A and B are shown apart, each in its own frame.
Chain A
Amino acid sequence: MGEFEEIVLLTVAILHGEAYGVSVRKDIETRLGRKVSVGAMQTALRRMEQKGFLKSEFGEATKERGGKRKRYFTITSFGKKALQEAKDTRLQLWNAIPKVVFE
């Protein structure tokens, strides 16, 4: 799992049931203050869905969407496990840093 994928996955988890294309992008942009390319984000979403970290279902269609339905993404338990692992790995590494380094 790449860094960008991890961010997208975490955002989907944060939004919890409200995660679809626009909301995920907006959330990353406001929360992290970085520009997100739609292409990169959409590819990441689809790839993670294929890997089984995410699952998706169609939601409601609104007028400002030109009558097109939303696709809501939710994190699967496999996705959660992957996030947990990623976090653990980091922590393990953080813990291994000698205290002296930050002094």
Chain B
Amino acid sequence: MKSKTPNPPKFFLDFFRWFCHPDIREDIEGDLLESFNESVKSKGYKKARLLLVWDVLQLFRPGIIRSFSGTYRLNHYGRFKSFFVLTYRHFIKTPLTALIQLFGMTVGLTIFLLVLLWIFQEVGYDKFNKHADRIYRLEISSEHNNNMVGLTTTIATIIKDNIPEVEKTVRLRHWKADQTVLKLDNEQDPDFFRTGEIVYADNDFFEIFSFDFIKGDPKNALKKKNSAVITESLAKNMYGYRSPIGEQISVGKGVNFTITGVIRDVPNFHVDFKMIRSFKTHQTNDTWWYWAHPTYLLINENHDVTELEQKIAAVLRPHFPEGLKDQFTKFDCHLRPLKDIYFSGGEAQEAGYAQHGDYKKVIAYAFIAFFTLLLACINLINLSNAKFLERAKEVGIKRVSGASRSQIFLQFLGETSLLCFISLVLALAFTFHTLQWFNNLMDSKLLISNLLEPSIVTSILIGLVMVCLVSGGFPALYVLSFRPVKVLKGLNVSKGFTLKKLNLVIQFAVTIFLLIGTITVLQQVNYMKNADPGFAREQQVYFSFNGNHLERLATLKETLQANPNILAVSSTEAIPGTYNLADNKPVTIIFNGTEYKLAGTPADDGFVDALGLKVVAGRFFDKAYKADNLIQRSDELSSEPINIVLNESAVRAIGLEEPIGATGKFPNGGIVQVIGIINDYHMNSLENHIPPTFYTWSRAFAVVVRITPFDIPNTVNFMDKQILKLSEHIHSDIQFIDDVYNKQYQKDENFAELMMYFTLLTFVIAGMGLFGVSTFTVKVRVKEIGIRKSMGASAYQIFTLLTKAFIIIVLIAALLAIPVAWMSMDNWLNNYAYRVDLKWWFFVGAGAVALVIVVLTVALRTVKAAKINPALCLRYE
């Protein structure tokens, strides 16, 4: 039986009922049904349904569709919308406070982001290597040398051939100095380029370390002699967007390199380089000469490292040639995990080829970032509290109308969170613009794209949530403490002022602490830079010298000395700023039956003149005394004692009363005789002690030259030519000693500069917060001020009344900050062997600066308040 009333399509009818505006729903629905029934009769059921569907779809248009807010449907859209509207209106109403809040938080977050990027880079060094867990660096210790990293080329070959646990080995040779090369792609107009630092490496380099090849074949890139792989940045510099593969470059005198690969720049590999050349270019045959090659091993999984160390030592020992065996009677191997290398600065003798980080610095920066962010949060809390107090009535009305506590909490939390979120967006923009500056200051290579790394994104989000919870949560809780009845009666609710005071104390304590820190760091850096190092720092250059050409050194020295602009030439390795005596395993010498450990340094007759040292007693090495020169000592003199020179520290350490002529002996029986004493000088940064040292006239692989201040470029040019004359394979890497020496303090200087900026910013943040709070205080107390004035108080009295509270806050902050600062700065200074003393004025000065800033900031508001006309503020009651 057919149904009496045919069914219209239910789904579409429901759809219509859902979207249609309720005011017009009834009659249109009626119209639809009427037409449907009519067309069922005239056109049939199926067609009628289709027509209705078509009608409904045509009705789905603006004018018919209901709006999605403000209906009786139970959602929260309306409430959320009103939150945003309220937030926006309050921003507009108090733009200054809102801007101060935004700015403070933006600064805090920017510093947080920059430091976060930096910390992640520091901690992530070398971790990009896929096999990072299995890569170890071989270090060898003998009697004279501890954890020597520079090895001879044979060692890697022996290990590879004899120890199956070692999968692959790679030997490096690193040149700190860059080189000028000639591009040979255009014969008419060849271009010169500076290469940046250069590394020579075995072909397995790219098998062990995971570098991204953009072009070229990683398996064979370094197989042939005279092939080179360059980084993307160097490739862009030299060839633009052209493929450099197969291009030739020349380093002069017919030595041409072929470029076989381009790799992506890696900012966090512990060896810095722009160009890698095949190891065969550097040395074709393995030798036992020339200890200068850091060697890395890729070992199989699951091998006990200690066992392997012993095995390597056992395998190597019988291979040592006769001449070396007696130098390596004690002999240990150590495998240092790749991941530990970056933070192991100073533990091994590396001759400066590796870059190092400092855990202490990472922690220090993390603290600074944390405190800046904390200050920004406190600032936000203070200002929000002040602002929200004015909205007590709004809260009262809401509570009375039935808003729950959690709804109000969420509203105010949300308001501050929105602000934090906007600050984060601004901070990202700031970070983008300040990253270059920050990189220069930190000597780092951070990229803005690092911000997209998942671990960093997570940290930022966690940071943001914490900031929102802290700086939004406290004010929201404060708002909840308002009692609706009191508030609506118009009673004052200036509770929570203690929290505000506490916050101010924390802010200023941190600021004063940072200021004391900055003063101390600046003092220490200045002291180190300006202290007399004990040697003449100017007009000295040095270059390193290939061991294969030692026999020609004497000729070179003579040629150089013939130049009137060259004052003195000395072959020594004790180059200030490069050679760390403290790294050397001390040599034992027995004086008067007691063993003393002294640092041994090779020098020659020109040493004192070249470095500008003073002979305190006795004499220095001299050509006239044949016994001095150990390199050319004839056999008939072998029974004579070895002549040595001590420095003052050594004399003090040994306690020699008559040092000149005193004799001692090596544990193997060799006799030494002291012929002179030279003054102590700071070969390294003042961070280190001057070790007790003895000098012998022996082989050295570097030359120091002291020149006159006249026509320096020509003199250097002359030296360049003379060095290149020795051999076509030699590098000329002449550097000025004061440059190298001052570079030691670069990091300390950068640290000081950064501290200065951080301190300045925290002052700005704290000052702005204080400004906000004082504005608020004045506003709350304006009637009180009016009454006091009408009772006869002077403007000055009002001013002191309002300012006193803030001065007390600063004093309390200073009292808290000073002892902490004293302890931590004393602790920091103890890292330095030669340090400034903490003086009272560091502390008083910092406190005074804080006080002046506070009084000036507060005065901006209080002076105005003190001058107020009482009639104006008492008019409305």
State the A residues within 8 Å of B (CB): 20-22, 25, 37-40, 42-43, 46-47, 58, 61-62, 64-66, 68-71
Q: Which residues of B contact A38 (CB under 8 A)?
A: 28, 31-32, 55, 58-59
**Scoring B residues 775 to 807 as 1 if CB is less than 8 Å from chain A, else 0, what string do you get?**
000000000000000000000000000000000
Q: How far is the CA of A69 from the CA of B591 in the complex (A)?
A: 121
Cβ–Cβ contact A69 & B33, under 8 A: no
**Scoring B residues 26 to 69 as 1 if CB is less than 8 Å from chain A, else 0, what string do you get?**
11111111110110000000000000000100111111100000
Cβ–Cβ contact B27 & A66, under 8 A: no
Cβ–Cβ contact B64 & A43, under 8 A: yes
Known interface pairs A46-B63, A66-B30, A69-B27; A22-B58 also in contact (CB < 8 Å): no
Q: Which residues of A contact B656 (CB under 8 A)?
A: none
Known interface pairs A38-B58, A43-B61; A70-B24 also in contact (CB < 8 Å): no
Q: Which residues of A contact B62 (CB under 8 A)?
A: 43
Known interface pairs A38-B58, A46-B24; A21-B31 also in contact (CB < 8 Å): yes
Q: Which residue of A lies closest to B23 (CB)?
A: A46
Q: Which residue of A lies closest to B61 (CB)?
A: A39
Q: Which residue of A lies closest to B25 (CB)?
A: A68
Q: Which residues of A contact B55 (CB under 8 A)?
A: 37-39
Q: Which of B33, B61, B64 contacts A66 (CB 8 A)?
A: B33
Shortest Cβ gap from A8 to chain B (Å): 13
Cβ–Cβ contact A20 & B26, under 8 A: no
Cβ–Cβ contact A20 & B37, under 8 A: no
Q: Which residue of A lies closest to B24 (CB)?
A: A46
Cβ–Cβ contact B27 & A58, under 8 A: yes
Q: Which residue of B lies closest to A68 (CB)?
A: B30
Q: How far is the CA of A37 from the CA of B54 in the complex (A)?
A: 9
Q: How far is the CA of A73 from the CA of B158 in the complex (A)?
A: 104
Q: How far is the CA of A21 from the CA of B29 in the complex (A)?
A: 10
Q: How far is the CA of A65 from the CA of B38 in the complex (A)?
A: 10
Shortest Cβ gap from B51 to chain A (Å): 10
Q: Which residue of B lies closest to A38 (CB)?
A: B55
Contacts A/B (CB < 8 Å), 23 sampled: A22-B34, A22-B38, A38-B31, A38-B58, A39-B59, A40-B58, A40-B61, A43-B64, A46-B63, A47-B63, A58-B27, A64-B37, A64-B38, A66-B29, A68-B26, A68-B27, A68-B29, A68-B30, A69-B26, A70-B27, A70-B30, A70-B31, A71-B24
Cβ–Cβ contact B60 & A71, under 8 A: no
Q: How far is the CA of A21 from the CA of B61 in the complex (A)?
A: 17
Chain A facing B: main interface SS: mixed
Known interface pairs A39-B61, A39-B64, A43-B63; A68-B33 also in contact (CB < 8 Å): yes
Q: How far is the CA of A52 from the CA of B38 in the complex (A)?
A: 32
Q: How far is the CA of A68 from the CA of B27 in the complex (A)?
A: 6
Cβ–Cβ contact A37 & B58, under 8 A: yes
Q: Which residue of A lies closest to B59 (CB)?
A: A39
Shortest Cβ gap from A21 to chain B (Å): 3
Q: Which residue of B lies closest to A64 (CB)?
A: B37
Cβ–Cβ contact A42 & B34, under 8 A: no
Q: Which residues of A contact B64 (CB under 8 A)?
A: 39, 42-43, 46
Q: Which residue of B lies closest to A41 (CB)?
A: B58
Q: Which residues of A contact B29 (CB under 8 A)?
A: 66, 68
Considering the complex, which residues of chain B in the window 54-93 have a beta carbon less than 8 Å from any beta carbon of chain A?
55, 58-64
Q: How far is the CA of A46 from the CA of B31 in the complex (A)?
A: 15
Q: How far is the CA of A21 from the CA of B64 in the complex (A)?
A: 14
- Total A-B residue contacts, Cβ distance less than 8 Å: 69
Cβ–Cβ contact B28 & A65, under 8 A: no
Q: Which of A40, A43, A64, A71 contacts B33 (CB 8 A)?
A: A64
Shortest Cβ gap from A57 to chain B (Å): 10
For the complex with contacts A61-B30, A68-B30, 12 further pairs of A-B residues with Cβ separation under 8 Å are A22-B35, A38-B32, A39-B59, A39-B60, A40-B61, A43-B61, A46-B24, A46-B63, A62-B34, A64-B33, A65-B33, A70-B31
Q: Which residue of A lies closest to B40 (CB)?
A: A64
Residue from B29, B30, B37, B64 having most chain A Cβ neighbours under 10 A: B30
Residue from B24, B31, B55 having most chain A Cβ neighbours under 10 A: B31
Shortest Cβ gap from A2 to chain B (Å): 13
The 7 closest A-B pairs by CB, nearest first: A68-B30, A21-B31, A71-B27, A39-B58, A43-B63, A65-B30, A64-B37
Residue from B29, B34, B60 having most chain A Cβ neighbours under 10 A: B34
Q: How far is the CA of A70 from the CA of B35 in the complex (A)?
A: 12
Known interface pairs A38-B58, A39-B64, A47-B63; A21-B28 also in contact (CB < 8 Å): yes
Q: Which residues of B contact A20 (CB under 8 A)?
A: 27, 31
Q: How far is the CA of A62 from the CA of B29 in the complex (A)?
A: 12
Q: How far is the CA of A66 from the CA of B25 in the complex (A)?
A: 13
Q: How far is the CA of A101 from the CA of B163 in the complex (A)?
A: 109
Q: How far is the CA of A71 from the CA of B26 in the complex (A)?
A: 9
Shortest Cβ gap from A18 to chain B (Å): 14
Q: How far is the CA of A70 from the CA of B37 in the complex (A)?
A: 15
Q: Which residues of A contact B27 (CB under 8 A)?
A: 20-21, 58, 68-71
Q: How far is the CA of A25 from the CA of B61 in the complex (A)?
A: 18
Q: Which residues of A contact B63 (CB under 8 A)?
A: 42-43, 46-47
Q: How far is the CA of A37 from the CA of B59 in the complex (A)?
A: 8
Cβ–Cβ contact A42 & B33, under 8 A: no
Q: Which residues of B contact A58 (CB under 8 A)?
A: 26-27
Shortest Cβ gap from B161 to chain A (Å): 87
Q: Which of A22, A42, A71 contacts B59 (CB 8 A)?
A: A42
Considering the complex, which residues of chain B in the window 313-355 have a beta carbon less than 8 Å from any beta carbon of chain A?
none
Q: How far is the CA of A92 from the CA of B145 in the complex (A)?
A: 112
Q: Which residues of A contact B24 (CB under 8 A)?
A: 42, 46, 71
Shortest Cβ gap from A22 to chain B (Å): 5
Q: How far is the CA of A69 from the CA of B38 in the complex (A)?
A: 17
Residue from A37, A38, A46, A70 having most chain B Cβ neighbours under 10 A: A38
Q: How far is the CA of A70 from the CA of B63 in the complex (A)?
A: 19
Shortest Cβ gap from A97 to chain B (Å): 36
Q: How far is the CA of A43 from the CA of B30 in the complex (A)?
A: 16
Q: How far is the CA of A46 from the CA of B23 in the complex (A)?
A: 11
Considering the complex, which residues of chain B in the window 222-261 have a beta carbon less than 8 Å from any beta carbon of chain A?
none
Q: How far is the CA of A64 from the CA of B6 in the complex (A)?
A: 10
Shortest Cβ gap from B27 to chain A (Å): 4
Q: How far is the CA of A37 from the CA of B64 in the complex (A)?
A: 13
Q: How far is the CA of A67 from the CA of B34 in the complex (A)?
A: 10
Cβ–Cβ contact B34 & A64, under 8 A: yes
Q: How far is the CA of A64 from the CA of B30 in the complex (A)?
A: 8
Residue from A22, A37, A42, A46 having most chain B Cβ neighbours under 10 A: A42
Q: Which residues of B contact A71 (CB under 8 A)?
A: 24, 26-27
Shortest Cβ gap from B641 to chain A (Å): 114
Shortest Cβ gap from B62 to chain A (Å): 8
Known interface pairs A37-B58, A47-B63, A64-B37; A42-B28 also in contact (CB < 8 Å): yes
Known interface pairs A38-B55, A64-B37; A69-B60 also in contact (CB < 8 Å): no
Q: Which residue of B lies closest to A73 (CB)?
A: B27
Q: How far is the CA of A65 from the CA of B28 in the complex (A)?
A: 10
Q: Which residue of A lies closest to B36 (CB)?
A: A64
Shortest Cβ gap from B65 to chain A (Å): 10
Q: How far is the CA of A39 from the CA of B24 in the complex (A)?
A: 12
Q: Which residues of B contact A39 (CB under 8 A)?
A: 55, 58-61, 64
Q: How far is the CA of A25 from the CA of B38 in the complex (A)?
A: 13
Q: How far is the CA of A61 from the CA of B26 in the complex (A)?
A: 10
Q: How far is the CA of A27 from the CA of B595 in the complex (A)?
A: 123
Q: How far is the CA of A43 from the CA of B27 in the complex (A)?
A: 13
Q: How far is the CA of A77 from the CA of B31 in the complex (A)?
A: 26
Q: How far is the CA of A47 from the CA of B24 in the complex (A)?
A: 12
